[in-house]
């Protein structure tokens, strides 16, 4: 609907997936998993409703379809959203509370290196570059949500910025813009494990 769709398609293709955009309920029926990109979460929820995708997507997620959300995608997948508009809808696929624009306005966007459990541990590259653009952070998680990455330093030190709950993965940063395909490969491996 909106956001870094092209960038995610390219990253998923490089990670070995057959990726395509989804804009209609019939297209949703033909995919095994979905990526919800960054963008503006209230606009995304509105467009999902207008294009009659919100309810089918929410149903597929509830039935166990694997999903990955980056930035606004994390917000869309969350069960509770702080600092959003009252008419904004979300998909309830992750039992987390997120705060929209937690790191500040556009001019406060930043990059940092961080550790990502399951990706950077035991690899040649001990960290990955993370790009935060008006990003959310995770305020709280349910017991079965796994924390995969936290901000390593600065005023937001230890804030949660990557999580996984079962078949759903989310990052508050944008790996699709860095050229590092490890998060997308991690997600593709999750999908393969879930779908056989």
46-104 pLDDT tens trace: 889 999 999 999 999 999 999 999 999 999 999 999 988 888 889 999 999 999 988 87
pLDDT at 107 over 70: no
Q: Would you place residue 124 in the very low, low, confident or very high pLDDT band (cuts 50, 70, 90)?
A: low
Catalytic residues: 71, 174, 176
**HSE-up of residue 114 (Cα within 13 Å, Cβ side):** 30
Compute the mean pLDDT over every residue in the chain, rounded to the nearest whole number.
Answer: 91
Nearest Cα neighbor of 29 from 48, 8, 9, 56 is 56
CATH level 3 topology of 5-195: Rossmann fold (3.40.50)
Calpha distance 112→80 (Å, rounded): 26
Rounded to two decimals, the pTM is: 0.94
For 68-109, the DSSP string reads: EEETHHHHHHEEEEES--TT------EEEEEETTTT-SGGG-
Q: Is the pLDDT of residue 123 over 70?
A: no
Mean pLDDT score, 25-32: 94
> If DSSP codes are grouped into helix, strand and coil, which group holds residue 188?
helix
Look at the alpha carbons of 152, 153, 158, 164 in this order and tell me if their dihedral is positive or negative: negative
pLDDT of residue 14: 95
CB atoms within 10 A of CB 155: 8
pLDDT at 121: 78
Residue 118 tokens read as: 């399951």
Name the CA radius of gyration of the chain, rounded.
Answer: 15
- Cα–Cα–Cα angle for 6, 100, 145, nearest 5°? 85
Q: What is the tens place of the pLDDT at every residue in 156-191? A: 899 999 999 999 999 999 999 999 999 999 999 999
End-to-end, the C-alpha distance of the chain in Å comes to 28
Indicate if the pLDDT at residue 108 is higher than 70.
yes
Say if residue 1's pLDDT is above 70: no
């Amino acid at each position: 609907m909106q956001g870094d769709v092209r960038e995610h398609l390219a990253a998923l293709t490089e990670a070995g997936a057959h990726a395509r955009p989804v804009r209609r309920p019939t297209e949703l029926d033909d995919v095994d998993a979905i990526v919800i990109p960054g963008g503006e979460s209230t606009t995304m929820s509105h467009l999902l409703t207008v294009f009659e995708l919100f309810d089918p997507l929410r149903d597929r997620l509830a039935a166990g379809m694997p999903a990955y959300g980056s930035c606004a995608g994390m917000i869309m997948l969350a069960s509770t959203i702080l600092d959003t508009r009252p008419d904004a809808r979300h998909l309830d696929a992750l039992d987390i509370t997120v705060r929209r624009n937690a790191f500040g306005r556009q001019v406060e966007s930043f990059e940092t290196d961080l550790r990502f459990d399951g990706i950077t541990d035991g690899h040649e590259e001990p960290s990955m570059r993370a790009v935060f653009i008006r990003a959310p952070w995770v305020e709280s998680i349910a017991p079965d949500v796994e924390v995969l990455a936290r901000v390593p330093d600065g005023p937001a030190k230890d804030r949660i910025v990557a999580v996984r709950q079962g078949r759903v993965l989310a990052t508050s940063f944008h790996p699709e813009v860095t050229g590092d395909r490890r998060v997308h490969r991690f997600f593709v491996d999750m999908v393969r494990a879930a779908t056989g």
